[in-house]
Structure 1
């Protein structure tokens, strides 16, 4: 894993293997650096500052040109002098910090979706910030389980807001910054999507805006690959989002290497291969048939730090482990497109918790304050998309790469949120955009519905046709034809997977001493489906790995 660790105001000796380090008074800075996109990273010291930025800044070249400054360090100092929140100008997958030696003010930040992890905690007069949760818990030495977070993990598949499984250890959320001085400690927002007003009702103008911005963002992400001489790697499935990226890139002259991962011969596989072949793109398929990745618990716990149930993107991690990516740079995707263009708009009254993954322990959840969010959409944006769905970003960082998608851009997210919910219900605006300005996207079947996405009525019909199809395959024991990840089919038909789950549970359940929690954990594992069982294993393995008292 790659990123920064900062120990603020501590005389304790602390070191991190295989890291670069800078010290100033009682402050220590460490950087574990990956080997790609090196010109976008910085870890340096000047007479007045210590600066660190990790990840990829898609618009770095544009910022240098705009301010007529070639040197990266000089640019950051110049931007900081203009505005301490200079990082809100960045586009991409990044995190970083700037430390002012004269005032001893430390500002840490992550990007607008929090896709680069930064954990923080205070201990006496010291503060620690790190991209690794384990580093923070090691510094604290004694750690207790955050029981509220444990129940959220076993219900939502991840945490609500900034919690972790360790009490008094938090994560910096998307659009947040942490500011520490000798006399203060403050977490604040530099970007808040709750302030976007959903008032735009002109669908014609909205579609034009979406397409123009989408096109400019495609250019931005693919030109970053070209800057480094990397091959364009792009995910491709049977969904709309990934094909929007790939087909837009193709239209603009960017040839992509497409890769797909799913159960063999499922719609995701067949549709993706057909699209890729028609575009004359290189195509790679990673079969998930043997379900091997379901047993790769430890590696995925290391990647997610227990923030998300380990199967969230374990299939993606398995794919990158088995894909030849020596020449690849960014991972181009369509991530969150369907969600921000209507997927989180309820048809009737708002349902903030409709994305709950298990209701078996719902009654044990602590109260969740939804009043601080402007709408159902923004609640799900922060707590579902940014906290759970973007798990793939953690995986990509683990593999020295970064996920990019036009839909992840802060300006694009704000544009989507500005559209009135009536335009987005059942994906209405998305389908209009495709059929009016990108009709080639609608030539192929949509895995979600089983139909081509060329008419709104097909969406409604699919609600019934999909149920019939799934029921038939379930009754005839052909669940492997119902999903790219038929978890329950694999669990019930692969003895090695079932045995791994059972043995892991038996070996780790005694790490919980809280009798009520232990009873609930046993109940969820014994009665739950494969996803619910994986939530339990995530909880137990994280407790064990981090040596948390539970």
Structure 2
């Protein structure tokens, strides 16, 4: 994994920008006089932009920036960071979902930035700055399983939120948010909404699969999101070459994903997580996620990638899929302590109430707050782990899909009914297979609801068993 790092002197705007190599090669650079624009990572809509603009990669960056300086990063899609160095201004941006990290720290009139927290910490220490823990972030880790906002576990070092960029001018700097999903309920009818959503899904998949360095490799579980991804690719005339599943041998994920792969004649690979071996290299995983989430976050994915014989640089997934169709946010719980207790442990919740409320006030909608402070952080853990070998892409994380998804009225999300309607309307073939949650195909919404009730009763029983095993 690589990316940009360096520093900027606020008084003179003199700067140093260095790039460490990534799995997909060197960054795109456009230099015109003293002005330079960099973009690094996997930009999956790059071929379409080049065709539309009829220009070269480097000239494209300047053209896009000149067209929309404030929102330049939003014209690019994928896992990337960008740096814009102009005569009177310097901008450093992460992508819309923060799956590419930008850490930063202001010390003695210099703004330092880096793609890696530990390396930035080392740079600061080498320059005579003391490194200390951030108690709020540590309590956050213990109470909700991860940090929130722009905090890290190191005092004085922050991280850009999703859709943010640092803007530096002489003797001044600020954070500008160039992207935040609209949460105003749509005026479209449900049928028109589903049609538009499907259209955006197809566009995203087409862009993600038709990149020159693409590989037709996908994660396939027994769940709905990855099979939808498979179906979307097929509808675009794209055939997967290989799929990877990881989990417990002979559990639902295993046999359902294998059944789907065999049906489509796709090369299938399964990595077993038996015996908890995937937890043995937990320190490596902690470093991979820069301590932003629990140490075990994405450890199973890290292990599966290391063991896989078919993994490719571009990994297609169904990341963040189901959450955009359901009541994924804890918007109904406005109390911070309740929110914290639901996620991890309420023991430390009171100690972060004030900071968490301040962060919540930055968002008009609790769904969008949850997206930025929980979902993006969780899915980005997988992206961070994957970046040692390549990049993760998902049509569900596409900004155009996200923009529409968060205008979905709450009543459509209840119990996941809209997702069920969407899948049966546009992806009927893959719905014939058993569903991971129920262990069988579900052909009607009442049947799905009955399955949810059955699972809930089963969980209640398991809790009682765990609490009083002696009664068995």
Fold shared, TM-score > 0.5 on shorter chain: yes
**Structure 1: tracts of 5 or more residues without a match:** 12-23, 478-550
Deviation at 1:350, TM superposition (A): 6.0
Out of 286, 301, 318, the residue aligned to residue 303 of structure 2 is 318
Q: Distance in 1 between matches of 2:188 and 2:64?
A: 37
1:481-500 paired onto structure 2 within 5 Å: none
Q: Distance in 2 between matches of 1:363 and 1:458?
A: 41
- Structure 1 pair 241–185 and aligned structure 2 pair: CA distance change class (3 A): same
Q: Distance in 1 between matches of 2:30 and 2:277?
A: 42
CA contact (8 A) 1:351 1:376 kept: no
1:18-417 paired onto structure 2 within 5 Å: 26-36=14-24, 38=25, 41-43=27-29, 45-69=31-55, 71-84=56-69, 85-100=71-86, 102-103=87-88, 105-141=89-125, 142-193=130-181, 195-200=182-187, 202-224=189-211, 227-228=212-213, 230-256=214-240, 257-325=242-310, 328-344=312-328, 353=339, 356-367=343-354, 368-369=356-357, 370-399=360-389, 401-417=390-406
1:517 is matched with none
Name the SS of the counterpart of 1:342 in structure 2: coil
2:8 is matched with 8
Name the SS of the counterpart of 1:390 in structure 2: helix
Q: Distance in 1 between matches of 2:387 and 2:327?
A: 27
Q: Distance in 2 between matches of 1:113 and 1:305?
A: 16
Name the SS of the counterpart of 2:210 in structure 1: helix
CA contact (8 A) 1:201 1:423 kept: no
Provide the aligned length of Structure 1 versus Structure 2: 454
- Structure 1 pair 345–461 and aligned structure 2 pair: CA distance change class (3 A): farther
**Structure 2: tracts of 5 or more residues without a match:** 467-472
1:433 is matched with 422
Deviation at 1:389, TM superposition (A): 2.9
Q: Alpha-carbon deviations, 1:46-66, whole Å to 9, x = none?
A: 422233211111111221222
- Structure 1 pair 181–348 and aligned structure 2 pair: CA distance change class (3 A): closer
Q: Distance in 1 between matches of 2:447 and 2:257?
A: 20
Q: Distance in 1 between matches of 2:138 and 2:205?
A: 39
CA contact (8 A) 1:344 1:376 kept: no
Name the SS of the counterpart of 1:135 in structure 2: helix
- Structure 1 pair 43–132 and aligned structure 2 pair: CA distance change class (3 A): farther
Deviation at 1:25, TM superposition (A): 8.4
Q: Distance in 1 between matches of 2:376 and 2:329?
A: 17
Confirm or deny that 1:466 pairs with 2:471.
no
How does the TM-score come out when normalised to structure 2? Answer: 0.90
Q: Distance in 1 between matches of 2:408 and 2:34?
A: 45
CA contact (8 A) 1:176 1:187 kept: yes
Deviation at 1:361, TM superposition (A): 2.5
Q: Distance in 2 between matches of 1:349 and 1:297?
A: 33
Q: Alpha-carbon deviations, 1:177-214, whole Å to 9, x = none?
A: 10112221110111122x43123462111111111111
